[in-house]
Amino acid sequence: MNFSEFLHEELIIPKMKANSQEEVFKRLYELLLENGYVKESFLEGIKKREQSFPTGLLLNKYNVALPHTDVEHVLKSAVAVATLSKPIAFKNMANPQQDVNVNIVFMIALNESGGQVKMLQQIVQLIQNDSLLEELMRAESGKEIIKVIKSVSHEN
């Protein structure tokens, strides 16, 4: 399982303008739903899981969120991505009482149990690279975002 195989241009929104976590979730969910990757129950699953298990990660310059939910809400595995035009507050994965201003969201939709841990490990490895995050934030298109991620994920 290679993370970059789950990226599709139609599931990526560069420089998304949003005012809330809810708005980010809804926009990415709509892309996943319209393209046949998830069931209608996916959005509710993401919201519920995020309340119990926050996914904001405090990094160096750019912070990341990795929202995901259970396999029963997913038809085909994929990862929807948004780089945000301005940071949105997410609860910190390590300390749920703390907010993290997130710049990049990777919404993970996997249809096989057990795959999430491997997928999360690959993403966490990628997002520790500050220059990669910088390039993602500068990217103007989904194609460009996929190219940036593939250039790094082949090094691993």
The Cα 20–Cα 140 span in angstroms is: 22
Domains contained in the chain, number = 1
45: CB partners within 8 A, 6+ apart? 69, 70, 72, 73
Res 156: pLDDT = 44
Rounded-to-integer distance, Cα 77 and Cα 21, Å? 22
The domain that contains 26 carries what CATH number?
3.40.930.10
Give pTM, 2 decimals: 0.95
Which domain range does residue 116 map to?
Answer: 3-153
CA-based max dimension of the chain: 36
Distance CA 102, CA 85 (A): 10
pLDDT at residue 46, rounded to an integer: 98
Q: Among 128, 48, 112, which residue's Cα sits nearest to residue 78?
A: 112
List per-residue pLDDT tens for the chain, 156 residues long.
688 899 999 999 999 999 999 999 999 999 999 999 999 999 999 999 999 999 999 999 999 999 999 999 999 999 999 999 999 999 999 999 999 999 999 999 999 887 777 888 889 889 999 999 999 999 999 999 999 999 887 644
The predicted pLDDT at position 154 comes to 60
